């Protein structure tokens, strides 16, 4: 079989195991599938497990449009000890352990209230964020004194699942850029006994869920059986933006980056404002391009002679 015959194009949901990096997953898939064009849409720390959204082949063109989705996690936070990495890797066993306080449900809720909504969060010193062109974890390992940056993130949902001292189990839905490790550390500071992230499972990314993901062994098996394509999501199933369906004639001209006019439009799916990210789709719903709306959807029918769509990425 030639290489083109078994090239995969689509979005694959992977159940990442703990103990390897997201880059390791991509490298394993490249070797397993004999395919170079593979990329993921959001890193999981090595100790974390769960949903990793991976784009294959032509779907790598949409990676940039999938990185901003909200994510949901289940976190196991251990109270009573701090960590320089904010997780179990950075525990110093010589440091004394503090006995966590007894916490009632109402006390836990009051504690969690401090972290719901938009908050300013400090990036972990051991992270891949760059400061002065260098990764923070490289600076930290060399003992370089540097203050990690802070950023505003949004904790959209924060629920206590259980508390059996010293383990506090949480369900967290948060915006792009949120570090659950930092949340664990900050909770420990707020309680006054220290805390670190002992385990993390990513349950969902946007509307994609871990229950629909395949393990690396399952991917290997489906690939060997010639059934892996049945588990790939096409771009139009994943890109959650309003869309303009265009005529067959204009569909053939999208590759040339032709200007969109009101006469090329068959239908508008959803609503949008000028500046929003939107899709161009063909009659059957296949995504042809991703771009920016140059006018609000309600004004498209009367935008004669005006620019309507600015191309960002052509997919077909």
For residues 299 and 219, give the distance between their C-alpha atoms in angstroms, rounded to a whole number: 46
Is the same domain home to 64 and 212?
Answer: yes
> 280: domain CATH number?
2.30.130.10
> 94: domain CATH number?
3.30.2350.10
Is the same domain home to 261 and 309?
Answer: yes
Is the same domain home to 138 and 215?
Answer: no
The pLDDT of residue 304: 66
Low-confidence ranges of the chain (pLDDT < 70): 1-6, 140, 302-306, 316
Three-state helix/strand/coil letters over 234-273:
CHHHHCCCCEEEECHHHHCCHHHCCCCCHHHEEEEECCCC
CB atoms within 10 A of CB 226: 10
For 205, phi and psi rounded to 5 degrees?
-130, 110
The pLDDT of residue 6: 63
Catalytic residue among 15, 45, 264, 282: 45
Helix axes 22-33, 216-225, angle to 10 degrees: 20
Parent domain of 249: 241-314
Tell me if the bond preceding 166 is cis, omega within 30° of 0. yes
Q: How many separate domains does the chain show?
A: 3
Contact 170, 159 (CB under 8 A): yes
Q: Which of 136, 179, 131 is nearest to 155 (CA)?
A: 179
Listing DSSP states for 31-63 in one string gives HHHT-S-EEESS---TT-EEEEEEEEGGGGGGG
Contact 22, 202 (CB under 8 A): no
Is the same domain home to 26 and 81?
Answer: no
Longest dimension (CA), the chain: 73
Is the same domain home to 76 and 195?
Answer: yes
Is the same domain home to 249 and 170?
Answer: no
Structure tokens at 163: 């508390």
Is the same domain home to 189 and 280?
Answer: no
Is the same domain home to 22 and 78?
Answer: no
Query: Of 200, 223, 256, which residue constitutes the final position of a domain?
Result: 200
3-class SS at 315? Answer: coil
For residues 144 and 122, give the distance between their C-alpha atoms in angstroms, rounded to a whole number: 17
Alpha-carbon distances, residue 170 vs 2, 98, 260 (angstroms): 48, 21, 48
- Helix and strand totals (H; E) in the chain: 7, 16
Structure tokens at 307: 């620019």
Per-residue pLDDT tens digits for 290-308: 999 998 998 877 666 567 8
Q: Is 45 a catalytic residue?
A: yes
Per-residue pLDDT tens digits for 74-95: 999 999 999 999 999 889 888 8
């Amino acid at each position: 079989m030639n290489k083109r015959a078994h090239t995969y194009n689509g979005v694959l949901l992977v159940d990442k195991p703990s103990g390897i990096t997201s880059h390791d997953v991509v490298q394993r898939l490249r070797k397993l599938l004999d395919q170079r064009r593979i990329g993921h849409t959001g890193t999981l720390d090595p100790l974390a497990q769960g949903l990793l959204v991976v784009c294959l082949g032509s779907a790598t063109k949409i990676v940039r449009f999938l990185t901003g989705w909200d994510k949901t996690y289940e976190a196991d936070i251990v109270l009573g000890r701090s960590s320089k990495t904010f997780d179990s890797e950075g525990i110093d066993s010589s440091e004394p352990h503090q006995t966590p306080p007894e916490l009632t449900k109402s006390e836990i809720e009051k504690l969690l209230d401090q972290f719901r909504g938009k908050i300013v969060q400090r990036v972990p010193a051991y992270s891949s964020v760059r400061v002065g062109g260098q990764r923070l974890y490289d600076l930290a390992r060399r003992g370089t004194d540097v203050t990690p940056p802070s950023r505003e993130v949004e904790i959209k949902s924060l629920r206590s699942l259980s508390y059996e001292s010293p383990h506090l189990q949480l369900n967290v839905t948060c915006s792009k850029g949120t570090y659950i490790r930092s949340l664990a550390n900050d909770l420990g500071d707020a309680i006054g006994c220290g805390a670190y992230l002992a385990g993390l499972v990513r349950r969902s990314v946007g509307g994609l869920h871990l229950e629909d993901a395949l393990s690396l062994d399952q991917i290997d098996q489906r690939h060997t059986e010639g059934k892996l394509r049945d588990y790939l999501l096409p771009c139009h199933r994943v890109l959650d933006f309003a869309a303009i369906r265009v005529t067959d004639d204009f569909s053939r001209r999208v590759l040339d980056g032709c200007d969109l006019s009101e006469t090329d439009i068959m239908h508008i799916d959803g609503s949008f404002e000028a500046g929003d990210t939107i899709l161009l789709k063909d009659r059957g719903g296949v995504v042809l391009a991703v771009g920016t709306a140059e006018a609000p959807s309600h004004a498209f029918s009367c935008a004669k002679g005006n620019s309507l769509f600015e191309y960002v990425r052509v997919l077909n």
